[in-house]
Amino acid sequence: MALPNGPVTASSEAEAVLFDLVDVYDRAYEAAAAELSLSPAQACVLGRLDERRGMGALAEELGCDASNITQIVVRLEALGLVAREPDPRDRRARLVGRTPRGDEVNQRFAEAFTFARTAVGRLSPDEQDQLTALLRKALG
């Protein structure tokens, strides 16, 4: 399991709860991916492929190196969850998209990752709005 990204010493209760939230969220994400024998990175990439797109676009969207994406996509392709096709508009580029099996696995992942849904579901609609507003403000 990935180590938590959190300082032990929080200078306020709000900070401490924030850390808890992030930690639990990350672990839940990882666990949901593991249920489907995926790494978190694989689940992430798979989730971005509702539409076909180029490798570069994916890398930029995810904020990482293109060669990183190549590797992850290669593994997803080996699992039969993703397919790469030549881009008819640009023969340098390759478009990635989910296969039907990829769609299915992605769907099952979305069902397995219940954390955010469950957490928000514990709040009333009003509280959800409050939380959204507060977090937006906190994010600046």
Partner DNA sequence: TCGTTTGCTTGAGTGCATCAAGGATCATTG
Partner DNA sequence: CAATGATCCTTGATGCACTCAAGCAAACGA
DSSP string spanning 84-132? EEEETTEEEEEEEEE-HHHHHHHHHHHHH--HHHHHHHTS-HHHHHHHH
Q: Name the binder of 70 from a copy of itself, DNA, none, CB < 5-8 A by kind.
A: DNA
108 binds a copy of itself (CB under 8 A): no
Whether residue 87 contacts residue 80, with contact meaning beta carbons closer than 8 Å, is answered with no
Reference 59, options 80, 41, 81; nearest CA is: 41
Handedness of CA 28, 30, 35, 41 (dihedral sign): positive
Binding of a copy of itself at residue 34 (CB under 8 A)?
A: no
Pick the stretch among 14-22, 55-63, 108-116, 122-130 that binds DNA (CB under 7 A): 55-63
Considering only 35, 45, 55, 82, the residue that binds a copy of itself (CB under 8 A) is 45
Beta bridge partners of 90: 87
> Is 72 a binder of DNA (CB under 7 A)?
yes
| Closer by beta carbon to DNA, 71 or else 107 | 71
Return the bridge partners of 94, or none. 86
Q: Which residues contact 32 (CB under 8 A, 6 or more apart)?
A: 43, 109, 112, 113, 114, 115
> Does 67 sit near DNA (CB under 7 A)?
yes
What are the residues binding a copy of itself (CB under 8 A)?
A: 1-15, 17-22, 24-27, 29-30, 40-41, 44-45, 47-48, 50, 62-64, 110, 113, 116-120, 122-123, 127-132, 134-140
What are the residues binding DNA (CB under 7 A)?
A: 1-3, 39, 41-42, 54-57, 59, 64-75, 84, 87, 90-95
